[in-house]
Amino acid sequence: MSFWEKLLNAIGNTAGNALSAVVEAIRTVFEGDPETRRKVAFSVAIIALSAKMAKADGIVSEKEVEAFREIFEFPQDQAKNVARLYNLARQDVAGYEAYAERLSTLCVTCAANCTVLEDVLDGLFHIAKADGLIHEKELNFLSHIGEIFQMSETRFEQIAARHVSTGGDPYKVLGVLPSDDFPTIRRRYHGLVSEHHPDRLISRGVPKEFHVIANERMAALNAAYAAIEKERRAA
């Protein structure tokens, strides 16, 4: 039996109690298997919050579905199970705030600016921008999720800046100030590259498919550093 089947069997068929059932199932079904528990918790967070975000602008585009599949690949024989979990989240009477609050407690390293929760936000941004534009309601949704995740405003702006297709502020992407000297910026850049290395994501329990986002994130960091370096050389 796959872990999705185990999870969904534990949840049962009561859609009205989906939130409590999902969280409790993850806590109990995978107790004693922390690695699988982390992967399932991350995956459920992406599925549930994606379902809630789809209601933010009232439209689920085909491109958003494709973006979801890019970062959340699953065996074809598990498609029905994943769809069932998505629909449970979408139909649940609980708002997305409740999902974010309860799911954030599944993060064993949960604290201000938690890296695992940052990974979740990155995934949601990736889906939101798939249709070429992050709508105002989606941005408000993501901003509130960041607050619930105890993400500082500066850190959230840094994450958001990575997903702006044009005109993004390279200083915000790296989380530095224009007044910082270049050695400080370089140290910050190398620290971010180390922090977001694919091996680090694996250790955090992020599924391997999420490396699509990791590559996108690294490209944004590299582009921001290159832009600042070019600017400082020209000055």
User: In the predicted model, is pLDDT for residue 20 greater than 70?
Assistant: no
Q: Across residues 92-111, what is the average pLDDT? A: 68
Q: What is the pLDDT of residue 78?
A: 74
Give the C-alpha separation, 76 to 57, whole Å. 28
pLDDT at 181: 94
Question: What integer is the mean pLDDT of 81-98?
Answer: 74
Residue 1's pLDDT band, with cuts at 50, 70 and 90, is low
The predicted structure's pLDDT at residue 225: 94
The pLDDT mean for the chain works out to 78
Report pLDDT for 197. Answer: 77
Where do the domains of the chain lie? 1-232
pLDDT bin (cut points 50, 70, 90) of residue 3 is low
Is residue 157 within 8 A of residue 186, CB to CB? The reply is: no
- 227 pLDDT more than 90: yes
pLDDT above 60: residue 13: no
Per residue, what are the HEC states of the chain?
CCHHHHHHHHHCCCHHHHHHHHHHHHHHHCCCCHHHHHHHHHHHHHHHHHHHHHCCCCCCCHHHHHHHHHHCCCCHHHHHHHHHHHHHHHHCCCCHHHHHHHHHCCCCCCCCCCHHHHHHHHHHHHHHHHHCCCCHHHHHHHHHHHHHCCCCHHHHHHHHHHCCCCCCCHHHHHCCCCCCCHHHHHHHHHHHHHHCCHHHHHHCCCCHHHHHHHHHHHHHHHHHHHHHHHHHHHC
CA distance 34 to 39: 9
The band of 94, judged by pLDDT with boundaries at 50, 70 and 90, is low
pLDDT of 118 reads: 83
User: CA separation (Å) from 88 to 52, 80, 84, 93, 107?
Assistant: 11, 12, 6, 10, 21
pLDDT at 26: 76
Give the Cα separation of 69 and 63 in Å (integer).
Answer: 10
What pLDDT does residue 28 have? 78
For 195-211, the pLDDT digits (tens) are 887 777 766 666 666 67
pLDDT of residue 183: 93
161-190 tens-digit pLDDT? 888 765 578 999 998 999 999 999 999 999
